[in-house]
Amino acid sequence: MTTTTAEPDDLLRLEHQVCFALNSASRAFGGVYREALRDLDLTYPQYLAMLTLWEHGELPVKRMGELLRLDSGTLSPLLKRLEAAGVVQRTRSATDERSVMVRPTATGAALRERAARVPLRIAEATGLDPVELRALHGMLTRLTERLDAAGDVRERPAAAEPK
């Protein structure tokens, strides 16, 4: 549906909302991930944190938050639970005591091998072939970038009017 040809009432129909379709897909993914991650004893947000550490190694909490798009109020409790589970270790930075560094423990690093099956299970659950999955990923990445840019425009102070 395009907004130029839609009737005004159609624009407000729930099934026409892209945000609702994305939210519904996200909730459906959540259910599939819950099942796929059960054997790892990780929640989906914890899994994302571990993916970040497996990819980058030791990171400052601030950088993890940037990569995961999470604020410290959300990330810190998540990391505390992972530390209590013995899969990550948090330490103060030697060069900046305000900064907390996070790294996978040996147990957390070993978990990576078991987690390698998760993306395959998720891909299978989607019913999409690899080409479709890459295309969907690309579209969602572009959508996120555009929405971020649109949000940035609205957050900037308005330019002063010329005198």
Confidence (pLDDT) at 152 = 78
What domains are defined for the chain?
15-150 (1.10.10.10)
Q: Is the pLDDT of residue 159 over 60?
A: no
Confidence of residue 163 (pLDDT cuts 50, 70, 90): very low
Confidence (pLDDT) at 153 = 64
Confidence (pLDDT) at 162 = 47
Two tokens at 119?
């993306």
- Laid out side by side, the sheet with 100-104 consists of 59-60, 100-104, 88-92
Mean pLDDT confidence for 92-120: 93
Which tops the pLDDT comparison, 67 or 157? 67
Report the chain's mean pLDDT, rounded to a whole number.
90
Q: What is the pLDDT of residues 30-40, one digit of tens each?
A: 999 999 999 99
